[in-house]
Structure 1
Amino acid sequence: MGNATVALADAPLSAIDWLSDTVATPVVMQPPAATDITRDASVEDITVTTLDGPTPDAVGLLPVSVTGLPRNFWGATPSEELAELVRRQPVQSLPALEDLLKMILLAELDAPLDADGTGALFLARIDKLLDMGSLDQAQALLERAGPDTPDLFRRWFDVALLTGTEHAACAKLKDKADIAPTYPARVFCLARNGDWSAAAVTLETAKVLGHITKEEDALLARFLDPELFEGQPPLPRPKHVTPLVFRMREAIGEPIPTASLPLAFANADLRSNTGWKTQIEAAERLARTGAIDPNRLLGIYTERLPAASGGIWERVEAVQQFDTAMSTNDPGAVAAALPVVWQEMQRAHLEVPFATLYGERLERLPLHDEAAELAFHIGLLSADYEKVAGNFKPVTVMDKFLVALAQGDVNGVASPDAKGNVVKPAFQANTAPVEFAPLLADNQLGKAILQAITLFAQGADGDLKDVRKALLLLRSVGLEDTARRAALQLMLLERRG
């Protein structure tokens, strides 16, 4: 692949090591006595056998009629290689690339040619959705496949823990004889199902057999009977925070803030039992990767009037004032509020969610001068970028270039800066870079596109020539809309990658 080869060894590892240790396979746990309680807590010997049948690698939520991707998208690339490429995709990139990646992760496609039924690629897709904080999509994908194997159930169980639906997960765990839970998961679920006595006996069984650590014992003991530990100092923060640990710490009144945890944990803060400020911070984190709809972010912003000032409350107030101005269709009020709210959106890296909410509506208002130009730039970050460009009369070199770029024809316009010098030639050719030609010729479209996504992100943070190669590849395989949106975002957003 030459210079276009993605250096996988240098890519960030997946954050999937935070999954709870809820399922063991195969496992044999001998009860200390033949009582009804320990019989319920024990698991018989399990033999796992791979049967011929549909592979989860072909499971998806978006049909080809929606994605436009060919069914043989994965082609001849080995499953394990694709899984590794998926795991090492950047979690936070330009929104256009995040959208493309998410579409690929959710697409219903033929399995790779070497798929053996183990679902290596499917698991990698789920893990990347979890990395991106997209729990609703991951949960829907898992339920479409059926969380009936230990690997799939483990992920489904943790999604349930973070979204507050653990009762359903515990009920399924109780009914699935072929899913062998670890002792902490069994204690948690027995308690959640109301069988506190069985949970206590199971904890004692685990201690006798040496199947839990001292840290697990301390947490589970407090979880089962917190009154025994009133007045004692809080437990030390665990080095390894899993969703199971997170929920039990929350239950004993010693919650762990999610700001320093992987993005998926932020979903837990969207529940109504958390404070408004915490909900806002979580929604902002998730909106940056497209994990929640911008309308949900707006709904949280406008839930009530801020009772404080400074920090995040400045942003909340700016959004509320601007939204009110937009609802009145008053151009003067909008023009006054727009610079303030836009500065706040830039500070929070929420420009594209904001543009999604308001870009097309702003384009319809009779704004002038600086407000009109700002509305034009915001509109270019929305899905209606081409329409916005067609209705704007550019004056500056930058705006003339942006209009041409949004319309896909940059011939005859001057480049405004170094980024433009790289973007322009990518829209003056329609053939893939020579580095990608062998992959495309060898029926490895999926690998080529995944490498292009990573190459763009790396180039935006370093060698901009890699951006040109990535854009050329995207355009050559028919992803014109993604290429234009990514190029516009590169030109307009202050951050890179």
Structure 2
Amino acid sequence: MKRAGLVLALALGQPLAAQEAGTGGEPLSAIDWLSRSVTPASPAAPPATAKEPPVAESAAAPQVSVKPLDAGSPDAVGLISPRLSGLPRGLWSSSAQDTLAALIAAQKFDTLPAIEQLTRLLMVAEADPPADADAQGSLFLARIDRLLQMGALEPAAEMLIEAGPDDPERFRRWFDTALLTGEETRACHAMRDKPTIAPTLPARIFCLARGGDWQAAALTLNSARALGDVTDAEDAMLSRFLDPDLYEGEPPLETPEPLSPLVYRLLEAVGEAKPAAALPRAFSHANLRRTKAWRAQIEAAERLARHGAIEPAQLFGIYTDRVPAASGGLWDRASAVQSFDTALRAGDAAAVAEALPGVWEAMREVRLGTPFAQQYASQIAEMSLGEDVAGIVFEIGLLGPDYEAVALKHTPRDARDALLVALARGMPDDARPNSPPEDPIPLALLRGFTDQAPSETLARMIDEGRTGEVILRAISLIDEGRAGDTGALAEGLATLRAVGLEDPARRAALQLLLLEYPA
């Protein structure tokens, strides 16, 4: 139950046509920066001609893969039950697995916090697999890859462990999450205990050294070099990793593209670490470790919290961990958070009211308004802070967990306030936006909660029970709406509401107005 609560906390904060599946033997949603930590299966040998009888290439016993006849699909694996997620158990069961995997891969990464929250929930929800699911689990891998790309490594790792990382494609993803979160010892033990995972030489050498067996690691590298089983680039990197003193003063290694988590950790070990901010979002987890400089920890936490990949409490815990030794930019944000947090803990309403405008502006500038509201809105609501900051308190409350209660207590001061209150309550019938005709976003939001309905195509999918597919398409419509297609925005919101996702629809509407169309 504790685990479910933690994952639920992380989970809850494109064109309609699905993309074609890729070719080349990779899973549909394979990420290019994943470590090649396992050896891919050897290509099939060409068929023997009629003139040549089959000849054995080796006297060794053949390798036989064994799988139970009743092996189920990992697509059913999830961390949050339907009772907790509010999503139906048949979320995916009436849709084709390739269609779902393509829709997941097509989702945008930089969207509203409520939409990112909903997407994470979809990825970790426990549900029945598609009717055409197989033991490979294309939908499961697509969900895992989406979590990895979003930077949500903890739920991805838990799902991989739940499904069993002894499959090569699942193991390489688990291995990478372990490398970025400091859990590589556990992954290396699993690699050692499961020979069928078939680790590559760089991964094996890394794990041997990580386990303290440097002599075996060096012997493995020497043997691989003699047999030509490592490239020159791999040889150079692993040689420096095993004995960096021999290469002191040498020019830096050439950085491969794309940079995998395994290479990232090897470069870090030889003193040639690459800045995580320039790498995919998941790499920022490596900078959350206590061994990293405080500035690096703050930068990583800000990046991840901005997209809901870590809980707000972790970000603000890092902000308040030490005393800033400099000023400007990041340090000013840390100082503002510390001043506000100190006043709040002391229960000093006057000090909170004084610190609130500065810290709120600092958070909004770096798109951290929603994490700030999730962390502090409830405490702020319990204090009497005065009329000077009443507008800020109202906005923070609408972005926090109790937005509807905040709206019910608020007396609108103008048409915009009235619209916000109506959207928070899901009752915008009588609200009228105070917006010029050239800005139709408020009107689109109103339509999404009043007279708009899902298109005929989406309505048919709902009737057919293709709920997960409908939700993914609705999310894409909302993202199109943010880019200017107000008809898509209204339809996307209406579709979420039609499948019972009233809360995400309201949160998305409020965030769109407050974060992207501020007064």
Return the TM-score normalized by structure 1. 0.92
CA-CA distance at 1:191 after TM superposition: 1.5
Residue 57 of structure 1 aligns to which amino acid in structure 2? D
Q: Secondary structure of 1:131's match?
A: helix
Q: Secondary structure of 1:191's match?
A: helix
Show the counterpart of 1:120. 138
The match for 2:160 among 142, 155, 178 is 142
Cα contact 1:342–1:351 (8 A) shared by 2:
yes
Deviations 1:417-451 (A, max 9, x none): 32211000111147433241122223211111011
The match for 1:232 among 250, 258, 262 is 250
Deviations 1:33-65 (A, max 9, x none): xxxxxxxxxx98644455432210000000011
CA-CA distance at 1:198 after TM superposition: 2.1
Show the counterpart of 2:355. 337
Distance 1:384 1:213 in 2: 56
The match for 1:270 among 261, 276, 288 is 288
Counterparts of residues 388-427 of structure 1 (less than 5 Å): 388-417=406-435, 418-427=440-449
The match for 1:245 among 248, 263, 268 is 263
Show the counterpart of 2:176. 158
The match for 1:23 among 38, 42, 62 is 38
Deviations 1:97-136 (A, max 9, x none): 1111111111110000111111110011111110011111
Residue 21 of structure 1 aligns to which amino acid in structure 2? R
Show the counterpart of 2:472. 450
Does residue 1:285 correspond to 2:289, yes or no? no
Q: 1:296 to 1:380 in 2, by over 3 A?
A: same
Cα contact 2:15–2:476 (8 A) shared by 1:
no
Distance 1:27 1:225 in 2: 33
CA-CA distance at 1:240 after TM superposition: 2.2
Cα contact 2:264–2:274 (8 A) shared by 1:
yes
Deviations 1:128-174 (A, max 9, x none): 11001111111111111110100001011111111111111111111
Cα contact 2:80–2:126 (8 A) shared by 1:
yes
The match for 1:432 among 446, 454, 478 is 454
Q: Point out the more displaced range, 270-279 or 222-231.
A: 222-231
Cα contact 1:50–1:118 (8 A) shared by 2:
no
CA-CA distance at 1:15 after TM superposition: 7.9
Show the counterpart of 2:213. 195
Cα contact 1:345–1:351 (8 A) shared by 2:
yes
Residue 186 of structure 2 aligns to which amino acid in structure 1? A
Show the counterpart of 2:392. 374
Cα contact 1:94–1:490 (8 A) shared by 2:
yes
Residue 369 of structure 1 aligns to which amino acid in structure 2? E
CA-CA distance at 1:257 after TM superposition: 1.1
State the number of aligned residues: 477
Distance 2:496 2:505 in 1: 6
CA RMSD, 1 decimal: 2.0
Q: Secondary structure of 1:471's match?
A: helix
Show the counterpart of 2:122. 104
Distance 2:337 2:62 in 1: 58
Does residue 1:301 correspond to 2:328, yes or no? no
Show the counterpart of 2:272. 254
Show the counterpart of 1:35. none
Cα contact 2:29–2:142 (8 A) shared by 1:
no
Show the counterpart of 1:218. 236
Distance 2:30 2:283 in 1: 12
Does residue 1:72 correspond to 2:90, yes or no? yes
Could you tell me which runs of 5 or more consecutive residues in structure 1 were left unpaired when the two chains were aligned: 29-42
Show the counterpart of 1:172. 190
Does residue 1:488 correspond to 2:494, yes or no? no
Distance 2:458 2:187 in 1: 44
Cα contact 1:430–1:476 (8 A) shared by 2:
no
Distance 1:14 1:96 in 2: 23
Residue 440 of structure 1 aligns to which amino acid in structure 2? I
Q: Point out the more displaced range, 206-215 or 408-417.
A: 206-215
Q: 1:6 to 1:351 in 2, by over 3 A?
A: farther
CA-CA distance at 1:337 after TM superposition: 1.2
CA-CA distance at 1:66 after TM superposition: 0.3
Which has the higher relative contact order, 1 or 2, with Cα contacts under 8 A spaced 6 or more apart? 1
Distance 2:358 2:29 in 1: 37
Q: Secondary structure of 1:346's match?
A: helix
Q: Point out the more displaced range, 473-482 or 408-417.
A: 408-417
Return the TM-score normalized by structure 2. 0.88
CA-CA distance at 1:340 after TM superposition: 0.8
Distance 1:24 1:222 in 2: 23
The match for 1:479 among 467, 488, 501 is 501
Distance 2:487 2:363 in 1: 29
Q: Secondary structure of 1:436's match?
A: helix
Show the counterpart of 2:222. 204
Distance 1:416 1:206 in 2: 71
Distance 1:292 1:480 in 2: 24
CA-CA distance at 1:489 after TM superposition: 0.4
Does residue 1:5 correspond to 2:23, yes or no? no
Residue 176 of structure 2 aligns to which amino acid in structure 1? D
CA-CA distance at 1:27 after TM superposition: 5.5
CA-CA distance at 1:236 after TM superposition: 2.6
CA-CA distance at 1:24 after TM superposition: 1.1
Q: Point out the more displaced range, 279-288 or 221-230.
A: 221-230
Q: 1:413 to 1:483 in 2, by over 3 A?
A: same
Q: Point out the more displaced range, 172-181 or 187-196.
A: 187-196
Residue 127 of structure 1 aligns to which amino acid in structure 2? D
Distance 1:430 1:328 in 2: 48
Distance 2:62 2:364 in 1: 56
Show the counterpart of 1:81. 99
Does residue 1:385 correspond to 2:403, yes or no? yes
Distance 2:509 2:478 in 1: 10
Distance 1:76 1:437 in 2: 14
Distance 1:184 1:438 in 2: 51
Q: Secondary structure of 1:259's match?
A: helix
Distance 1:355 1:341 in 2: 11
Show the counterpart of 2:80. 62
Cα contact 1:26–1:47 (8 A) shared by 2:
no
Q: Secondary structure of 1:18's match?
A: coil
Show the counterpart of 1:312. 330
Cα contact 2:18–2:99 (8 A) shared by 1:
no
Distance 1:24 1:336 in 2: 59
